[in-house]
Structure 1
Amino acid sequence: MSGLAISQARTHAAQERDEAIMAATPGQLRCSHEEQAILDWLFSQSPIAVAVFDADLRCIRQNTAMGRLLGAPPTDGQAHRLSRLAYGPDPAVWERCVRQVLATGEPAVVDEIRGRSAADPDHDRIFATTAAPLHDQQGQVFGVCTTVDDITEQHRAQERLAMINEASSRIGSTLDLMRTAQELADTAVPRLCDWVTVDLLDTVLRGDEPGPFTRTVALRRMANRSVLAGEPEAVRKPGEVDYYPAQSPPVRSMATGKPAVLRTPDPVVQAWLAMDPARAARFQAFKFQSLMPVPISARGAILGVTVFFRRSADAFTDDDRLLAQELVAIAALCLDNARRFSRERTAALALQHSLLSQRLPAQAAVDVAARYRPAGGRSGAGGDWFDVIPLSGARVALVVGDVVGHGITAAAAMGRLRTAVRTLADVDLPPDELLTHLDDLVTRLATEDDGQAEAAEQGATCTYAVYDPVSRRCSIARAGHPPPAVLAPDGTVEFPELPLGPPLGLGNLPFEAAEVELAEGSVLALYTDGLIASRDRDVDEGLRRLRRALARPTLSARALCESVFEEVLPERPSDDATLLIGRTKALAADRVAGLGIPADPAAVADARAWTARRLASWGLHEAAFTTELVVSELVTNAIRHAQPPIELRLIRDETLICEVSDSSNTAPHMRRARSFDEGGRGLLLVSQLTQRWGTRHARDGKTIWCEQPIASEAP
């Protein structure tokens, strides 16, 4: 039954009762024996306090129950006895109500009046009062009959129910441990207690099993709340660890799994305070009279303890204990969910951190800087990744991708895709072909993981760019990813018009690459959509902010990356955000040399001589012998097995790079030559003399390349 229905029922009953009193008031009409018996019971035995007032608010008569409440019989001239019962503004409110009844002849009800009875002067009580007019035989109002009903217990029961309802909707609004604990504390103070602490076992927060509770227990403070500003009672602040002896009330409560209601003079409390002078000083300073530790338990495991404190002489009751258990039980499940989420998110972040580049590799093509920030709240770590991959010919690949979803699954999928990109980049695939192979891999992995799953549901987006510092050209392909931004040396920012391929995982759709020429000192910015989009703004607004933030050509790559990330990232990012910035360099013309080779075996000697002269001009005399052998083997293989045109190119970068290109699409393979074989040793010799070697295919031929350290940088 609702509070309104209860109030209406109470009013109706009071009206009927008061009408009977009015009809039987002495001096107004004669009473039968039955009516006299009712009057005797009403004024001497009824548990409902009743008083009758005349038109001047003088008490004509009151029953025994009213006398017990007021603590004294009525005296002439002190008619309005409710002032003995209530305090504050309530007596004035009641007097206005009674006078209104006298004036209008309509009954009235005041649902709640706070006061104290003579029988229990030390504790507040809640009373419900009614007032009904008394009419004489001519229908004139000559007085008022009032009743006072002690509804303290009903009121407290309604308050407890309201607190539980509030706790159900208030506690657990997020999956943050600290905030969930604080929500529990805020619900309890001041309606249940004056001071509360919420502690969780440090072992549980680390992922270990709870207990044992037979020795000192480490508890991490999650929340404090007091009726006093600043929580001066606190021995520990949220986040700090406190140590509780095995015999302390909080640990004993966790050991038994049951709450306890204790008063400060109890021996167990005094023994605890004797072992903890700092806490004892707080008890004495703030005059705590009682405490109630309640274990935090969820899914059969003890997570921690909540301790409620009171300063008043009113000790916690059994009803208070049941209410505290209900509140803590609601919070316990939310805290356990938050703990599990926090543990999973931490594991996902650790996995993602281990899979991302911890140190960007050294290369001379671009100055790079990167930032990554995981999403907060419920989403946790996502599948964003970035990479910088040195390629042959002093080129470099810049990669940014985003896997659908969050958590460990997304982080694991990101790791597989990042590894696949590195593997495909190692064979020097063009950007569009690399994305095609990556798309096939995503489709196949989705089928292997769950035969019923759609690949698009486990898909990803990606931008793959290859920059060549020799030609200053950058080849870029996109798979459902936001467009890269280019900052020119003059400060203008553009988003190049590039073909947009489908997200990875759709399958059987083409990808296209486009080339843009970048001036030396240009900045290429790759990012994920979490940087520019959020719940509070659309993508276009995010791109406008990115354009404004990038327009700072004088900043270094690292400083520019930091400033852009802080200015553009939404205040409440709903997704992971990644930014990869590369400021381009260009190799000077005197660091690159090329020579056309005719398809004549006699040209091998000319190639060796040209190589020796070029290395001498670079001051690399010590590398001449090895390089001449390598050039001899590669040029001889091209003349014998490939097709013209043949070109030899030397690049002096961080390493010395030797490349031989031809128009044939057949790739050489290193094999073990037998004792009497005339060939098969060339590539073996190249691999032994150089740091690394490989084959790079193009649409009109291939390039065999190798690298060797320059003498000053050799081990």
Structure 2
Amino acid sequence: MPSMDLFALIDESGRVIEWGRPAEELFGRAAEDAIGRPVTTLMSELAAEGPWGREGSQDGTSVLVRPVLRDNSVLWQVLAAADSPSRRGEAILSALFAQFPVGLHVLDERLRVVRGSAMSSSCCYEPAEHLVGKHFTEVYSFADPLEEGVTARRVLEHGEPVVKRIVRGAHRPGRCRRRIFSVSYFRLEDPAGRAIGLLMATADVTEHEKSEERRAILDKIRTQVGPQPTVGTVCRDVVDAIVPAFAGAAVVDVVEAIVRGEEPPLIPAQQDTPLRHAAFQGAVSPIPVGDVRPLPSGTPFSGVLSDLQPRLIRLDEDSSWLAADAARADLINRSGANSLIVAPLSLHGRALGVVTFYRDRRQDSFDEEDLAVASAVCAHAALCIDNASRYMREWVVALTVQHRLLPEHPAKQASLDVTHLHVPDPEGGGAWYDVIDLPGARTALIVGEVTGRGITAAITMGLLRTAIHTLAALDLQADELLARLSDTTTRLAAAYAAMPPADLPHLEPITAACAIVIYDPVDLTCTIARAGLPEPVLILPDGTSDSLSVPLGPFLAETSNAPFPATTTDLPSGSTLVMGTAALADEVLAPSGRLRPLLGSLGKRSQADVCADIANELAGGEALLLLAHTKPLPVERVLTRDLPAGPEAAPVARAAVRDQLRVWGTDDETAYNTELIASELVGNAVRYGAPPLKLRLINGRLLTCEVSDGATSTPRVRHARTVDETGRGLFIIASLAEQWGTRHQTHGKSVWAELAPETPTVVR
């Protein structure tokens, strides 16, 4: 049983006969003022005088009243427990409110302060005794007092506590920084469970929260600002990441040289170094993005480029330099800035630019720790800008290489009107096209694409173009051309793979696609083979369109060794053949593509206008489209003659050639050479070939003499000895013709030779 102290002793008449020390301490009455007086009178006086107890608060001391027998009289003894729970609770509360390192406030039902701890003064800048009776939002001057009042009232009504709520204080005049508090609310209840107020605990967490904010800003910069293809994109990412988290406004100015892919200047940079206004976020800037001008001398901005030292400027202390920079003075006035940080963008002793951070009067002014954060932001941004500048230099080279390797204008064709649309990739790509003259007035239309970007894709594209020009000179069929080109691509990929990684950084495995169409204006046919590219589209003279069904072959350099099937189809005169890269498959070449109807207007509008409309509608990325409007070779410019299978074929051929060249007005020397070539070709066909034999003479860009037979053997040049009577036919042909060759067909072959007349031929 706990020890008990005598509180008071009352006789049978109700008078106080003893008054103990606990009573003196509780009521503040000495024993001589209480003894002898009626207890009811004494209690009434004490009630009127209240509150009782220490520190001005009522004491909930536990007492025990019991009768005791003394001298045959019954007295009433009032005892106080020396270690009662209420006394212990009061001792604990006294220690908390006096020593606990957190501001404690007892709030009544109207959220007014009833009692405050010693730490309340440091949190509120006011003595604890001045807080009593004030609404708690007046004590702390929160940035949003209405929201805090709603939160506290909710705890009072529902009883669910709110713990460690981060609350920002309002800006106080004369202070450069606003405070941040961690606030907790707990409901106080009486023994019956009714709400009688709140216990509010507050802690100043300004430094901790500021440190966390700075760490979050640096993490955001590292995650949101990374490798980008252009300097401008990096600069925009920087201002987007730091506004408004770190600054109310931010400006990035970069040295103009790096935007053009050139080396930035060494430190110290010259005063007249031009800078580009690359990115801005925040208030309206008086300097348009893209504006190029040197920084005015005598300002913090020009000083930063000289010594690479960041500067913290408080405008209420130093604003004399604004007279030298009217544009930035206007920006400061518009944004209402109270301070700014000017930090350099630099790397390896070279100046890349300047970043300026602004804070307005609604924000805390910058301090020295913010200066360190700004420097870290600029260090990361400078690295990304340098990478983008290096990428830009490679991009400029890649675009230059691709531009030089692509044909500027297709060669004029007598039987085709060719127009192309090339939308280059901003980072440089590997799409290409070619229009190659073939023997017999035929034309090869080629569209190709190398995956990837940059200088490697452009160089690979150039190598494949060179290879296909070389292969086309062999007069191969479309499917065989693709097969040989695939072999070349495979060897090229193996050569790349064997190179040291430093020679070709970021090199990906080569993937290339190609489609080849060989158009014959005499037969009005085209032979198509494709590897990885979409099917060509045929636009008929009446405007209707149809996709040409061509089996899809594998991509070039694939290891499957699958064949490249070819399809030969009729091509009506006046129709248009449309070929394109994979980027156009869905929007232009597919029957349901949204831009497919534009192709239907080719009969009414020029190919250039249609290409321009398609270019305006494309979403982006590299795309290449080739349009070829077909025209037949006039029948009067072609001679076709079936020949007998015996020795009489040669004189028949010579006579036919002689008569036709006379009609065309060919010069005598060309006519003589052509007649001799025709005789030798027919002689070889009779001797080594097989029927049927056919002679074809074509008056196109060059004069072509062609003899077909049913054998598949390939003729070759022989060097006959002086005593040999035969073996000089092809040697003579090779000496007289510009070029000659053999073209294998489904049944048999054609041996041809081309001559360039000294005077233009005229059809009469």
TM-score of the superposition, structure 1-length normalised? 0.79
- 1:52 Cα deviation (Å)? 4.2
Residue 286 of structure 2: SS of its match in structure 1? Answer: coil
1:293 lines up with 2:342 in the alignment: yes
Match of 1:631 in 2: 674
Match of 1:522 in 2: 575
Counterpart Cα distance in 1 of 2:648 and 2:670:
18
Match of 2:756 in 1: 708
Cα displacement string for residues 528-551 of structure 1 (whole angstroms, at most 9, x for unaligned residues):
222115xxx9x9967655754433
Residue 475 of structure 1: SS of its match in structure 2? Answer: strand
Counterpart Cα distance in 1 of 2:743 and 2:194:
113
Q: Given that residues 263 and 289 in structure 1 are in contact (C-alpha distance below 8 angstroms), is that contact kept between their aligned partners in structure 2?
A: yes
Q: Given that residues 694 and 707 in structure 2 are in contact (C-alpha distance below 8 angstroms), is that contact kept between their aligned partners in structure 1?
A: yes
Decide which of 174, 197, 211 is 1:157's aligned counterpart: 211
Structure 1: gaps spanning 5 or more residues: 1-21
Match of 1:436 in 2: 483
1:556 lines up with 2:606 in the alignment: yes
Specify the code of the residue in structure 2 equivalent to 1:224: F
Residue 169 of structure 2: SS of its match in structure 1? Answer: strand
Matches within 5 A, 1:234-273: 234-235=286-287, 237-244=288-295, 248-264=299-315, 270-271=320-321, 273=322
Q: Given that residues 608 and 628 in structure 1 are in contact (C-alpha distance below 8 angstroms), is that contact kept between their aligned partners in structure 2?
A: no
Residue 159 of structure 1: SS of its match in structure 2? Answer: helix
- 1:516 Cα deviation (Å)? 1.0
Q: Which moved more, 1:171-180 or 1:583-592?
A: 171-180
Q: In the superposition, relative to structure 1, how do residues 467 and 710 fare at CA in structure 2: closer, same or farther (>3 Å)?
A: farther
Match of 1:591 in 2: 637
Cα displacement string for residues 269-300 of structure 1 (whole angstroms, at most 9, x for unaligned residues):
745x4544444454456554432122234677
1:578 lines up with 2:609 in the alignment: no
Matches within 5 A, 1:404-423: 404-423=451-470
Could you tell me the percent identity over the aligned residues?
33
Match of 2:138 in 1: 83
- 1:599 Cα deviation (Å)? 8.3
Specify the code of the residue in structure 1 equivalent to 2:575: S
Q: Which moved more, 1:579-588 or 1:698-707?
A: 698-707
Matches within 5 A, 1:58-457: 59-62=113-116, 65-67=119-121, 69=124, 71=126, 78-80=133-135, 82-87=137-142, 89-90=144-145, 93-94=148-149, 97=152, 100-101=155-156, 109=163, 111-116=165-170, 123-132=177-186, 144-172=198-226, 175-212=229-266, 213-215=268-270, 216-226=272-282, 228=283, 231=284, 233-235=285-287, 237-244=288-295, 248-264=299-315, 270-271=320-321, 273-283=322-332, 288-297=337-346, 302-312=351-361, 314-375=364-425, 380-450=427-497, 457=509
Counterpart Cα distance in 2 of 1:266 and 1:58:
41
- 1:658 Cα deviation (Å)? 4.2
Cα displacement string for residues 322-356 of structure 1 (whole angstroms, at most 9, x for unaligned residues):
22233334434443443343433333332222222
Q: Given that residues 694 and 705 in structure 1 are in contact (C-alpha distance below 8 angstroms), is that contact kept between their aligned partners in structure 2?
A: yes
Q: Given that residues 294 and 324 in structure 1 are in contact (C-alpha distance below 8 angstroms), is that contact kept between their aligned partners in structure 2?
A: yes
Residue 526 of structure 2: SS of its match in structure 1? Answer: strand
Counterpart Cα distance in 2 of 1:551 and 1:387:
24
Specify the code of the residue in structure 2 equivalent to 1:469: P
Q: Given that residues 217 and 246 in structure 2 are in contact (C-alpha distance below 8 angstroms), is that contact kept between their aligned partners in structure 1?
A: no
Q: Given that residues 28 and 136 in structure 1 are in contact (C-alpha distance below 8 angstroms), is that contact kept between their aligned partners in structure 2?
A: no
Cα displacement string for residues 596-626 of structure 1 (whole angstroms, at most 9, x for unaligned residues):
56689998787666555434544x3xx3312
Q: In the superposition, relative to structure 1, how do residues 154 and 653 fare at CA in structure 2: closer, same or farther (>3 Å)?
A: same
Residue 178 of structure 2: SS of its match in structure 1? Answer: strand
Specify the code of the residue in structure 2 equivalent to 1:162: A
Cα displacement string for residues 308-330 of structure 1 (whole angstroms, at most 9, x for unaligned residues):
12343954212212222333344
Residue 193 of structure 1: SS of its match in structure 2? Answer: coil
- 1:474 Cα deviation (Å)? 1.2
Counterpart Cα distance in 1 of 2:130 and 2:342:
50
- 1:360 Cα deviation (Å)? 0.7
Q: Which moved more, 1:584-593 or 1:153-162?
A: 153-162
Counterpart Cα distance in 1 of 2:160 and 2:251:
51
Cα displacement string for residues 625-657 of structure 1 (whole angstroms, at most 9, x for unaligned residues):
122221233134335544266655433334544
Residue 667 of structure 2: SS of its match in structure 1? Answer: helix
Counterpart Cα distance in 2 of 1:458 and 1:57:
73
Cα displacement string for residues 224-279 of structure 1 (whole angstroms, at most 9, x for unaligned residues):
111x3xx2x332x3333231257643344344444221234777x745x4544444
Q: In the superposition, relative to structure 1, how do residues 682 and 55 fare at CA in structure 2: closer, same or farther (>3 Å)?
A: closer
Specify the code of the residue in structure 2 equivalent to 1:111: R
Q: In the superposition, relative to structure 1, how do residues 214 and 513 fare at CA in structure 2: closer, same or farther (>3 Å)?
A: closer
Cα displacement string for residues 437-459 of structure 1 (whole angstroms, at most 9, x for unaligned residues):
22322233333333699xx9534
Match of 1:3 in 2: none
TM-score of the superposition, structure 2-length normalised? 0.74
TM-align CA RMSD:
4.5
Q: In the superposition, relative to structure 1, how do residues 305 and 23 fare at CA in structure 2: closer, same or farther (>3 Å)?
A: farther
Match of 1:474 in 2: 526
Residue 643 of structure 1: SS of its match in structure 2? Answer: helix
Counterpart Cα distance in 1 of 2:537 and 2:351:
53
Q: In the superposition, relative to structure 1, how do residues 256 and 667 fare at CA in structure 2: closer, same or farther (>3 Å)?
A: farther
Counterpart Cα distance in 2 of 1:99 and 1:427:
89
Counterpart Cα distance in 2 of 1:130 and 1:549:
68
Counterpart Cα distance in 1 of 2:325 and 2:171:
41
1:483 lines up with 2:535 in the alignment: yes
Q: Which moved more, 1:491-500 or 1:177-186?
A: 491-500
- Equivalences, count: 667
Counterpart Cα distance in 1 of 2:160 and 2:549:
82
Q: In the superposition, relative to structure 1, how do residues 111 and 496 fare at CA in structure 2: closer, same or farther (>3 Å)?
A: closer
Q: Given that residues 657 and 675 in structure 2 are in contact (C-alpha distance below 8 angstroms), is that contact kept between their aligned partners in structure 1?
A: no
Counterpart Cα distance in 2 of 1:545 and 1:106:
59
Q: In the superposition, relative to structure 1, how do residues 298 and 643 fare at CA in structure 2: closer, same or farther (>3 Å)?
A: farther
Q: Which moved more, 1:181-190 or 1:544-553?
A: 544-553
Q: In the superposition, relative to structure 1, how do residues 310 and 633 fare at CA in structure 2: closer, same or farther (>3 Å)?
A: same
Counterpart Cα distance in 2 of 1:176 and 1:634:
61
- 1:357 Cα deviation (Å)? 1.4
Match of 1:15 in 2: none
Q: In the superposition, relative to structure 1, how do residues 92 and 316 fare at CA in structure 2: closer, same or farther (>3 Å)?
A: closer
Residue 458 of structure 1: SS of its match in structure 2? Answer: coil
Counterpart Cα distance in 2 of 1:208 and 1:511:
46
Q: Given that residues 70 and 117 in structure 1 are in contact (C-alpha distance below 8 angstroms), is that contact kept between their aligned partners in structure 2?
A: no
- 1:388 Cα deviation (Å)? 0.5
Q: Given that residues 155 and 186 in structure 2 are in contact (C-alpha distance below 8 angstroms), is that contact kept between their aligned partners in structure 1?
A: no
Larger Rg over CA atoms: 2
Match of 1:16 in 2: none
Q: Given that residues 116 and 131 in structure 2 are in contact (C-alpha distance below 8 angstroms), is that contact kept between their aligned partners in structure 1?
A: no
Residue 601 of structure 2: SS of its match in structure 1? Answer: coil
Match of 1:8 in 2: none
Counterpart Cα distance in 2 of 1:364 and 1:145:
96
- 1:144 Cα deviation (Å)? 4.9
Specify the code of the residue in structure 1 equivalent to 2:576: V
Match of 1:495 in 2: 547
Cα displacement string for residues 157-212 of structure 1 (whole angstroms, at most 9, x for unaligned residues):
23323333433433338544323322221222233223211122222333333222
Q: In the superposition, relative to structure 1, how do residues 305 and 89 fare at CA in structure 2: closer, same or farther (>3 Å)?
A: closer
Match of 2:72 in 1: none
Q: In the superposition, relative to structure 1, how do residues 66 and 460 fare at CA in structure 2: closer, same or farther (>3 Å)?
A: closer
Counterpart Cα distance in 2 of 1:677 and 1:255:
88
Counterpart Cα distance in 2 of 1:254 and 1:672:
81
Counterpart Cα distance in 1 of 2:376 and 2:679:
86
Cα displacement string for residues 354-400 of structure 1 (whole angstroms, at most 9, x for unaligned residues):
22211111111211111222446xxx433322111011221111111
